Chain A
Amino acid sequence: QSALTQPASVSGSPGQSITISCTGTSSDVGVYNYVSWYQHHPGKAPQLVIFEVSSRPSGVSYRFSGSKSGNTASLTISGLQAEDEADYYCSSYAGSNTLIFGGGTKVTVL
């Protein structure tokens, strides 16, 4: 399977909202609601920020939200803060007990 498609980079000013897209196929994102998003500050452990398309784990800021339409899932970060600068990865169940990740999106806070 090919990786899910994400933009290489997204940027925004503090306080703004940004949205990261994650495009898959009718074999993964389009057919399963098992979509998740991870935040990764290089050198640190990645962190789950969204699961099951739009659910937030305990302790994750309300500023993170997720959605899905067809074969594309999205992560929105509202009220952008300096600490949100990181790499973000989407993931989806791809059937047959396998998972697939996106190529990652570097978020820059201007």
Chain B
Amino acid sequence: QVQLLESGGGVVQAGGSLRLSCEASGFTFSNFGMHWVRQAPGKGLEWVAFIRYDGSNKYYADSVKGRFAIFRDKSKNTLYLQLNSLRVEDTAMYFCAKELIGYFHYMDVWGKGTTVTVSS
């Protein structure tokens, strides 16, 4: 079945870096745009980044622009999020999500998330 599995979360000091992965299965990964969304403890969801199906365009939330980078490897059916210059406020559960085909605006399949904790 269609599945997304995030990994790579952990505890890192402020200013450090981390790379998150999202392995996709059950669908043709190279045909779909992909998102990263995060949820800080006790807070709502926050959209983080998007990459088009072919990697040609990438969009970021202002809060992470210049610090985070989204990219994908179609040979590994894997989406990535490189987190640099991490701040305490980046502490969150990070979810990857697949776009509803043809619609950047909607996410029809989500993973269960991976936790990032940034310590001061």
Chain A residues in contact with chain B, CB under 8 A? 1, 3, 6, 34, 36, 38, 40, 43-48, 51-52, 57, 89, 91, 93, 97-104
Contact = CB atoms under 8 A, between A and B. Distances in A.
B59 interface: yes
B106 A51 contact: yes
B108 A48 contact: yes
Q: Is the interface of B mostly helix, strand, loop or mixed?
A: strand
B46 interface: yes
Nearest to B107: A48
Contacts of B100: 48, 51, 57
A87 B104 CA distance: 23
Given A97-B104, A98-B61, A91 B110 contact: no
Contact of A3 (B44, B59, B62, B95): B44
A103 to B, nearest CB: 4
Contact of A97 (B37, B45, B59, B95): B59
A46 B35 CA distance: 13
A45 B47 contact: no
B67 interface: no
12 contacts: A38-B107, A43-B112, A44-B112, A46-B97, A52-B106, A97-B59, A98-B59, A99-B50, A101-B44, A102-B44, A103-B43, A104-B43
A47 B110 contact: yes
A43 B111 CA distance: 10
B105 A36 contact: yes
Contact of A101 (B47, B50, B110, B111): B47
A51 to B, nearest CB: 4
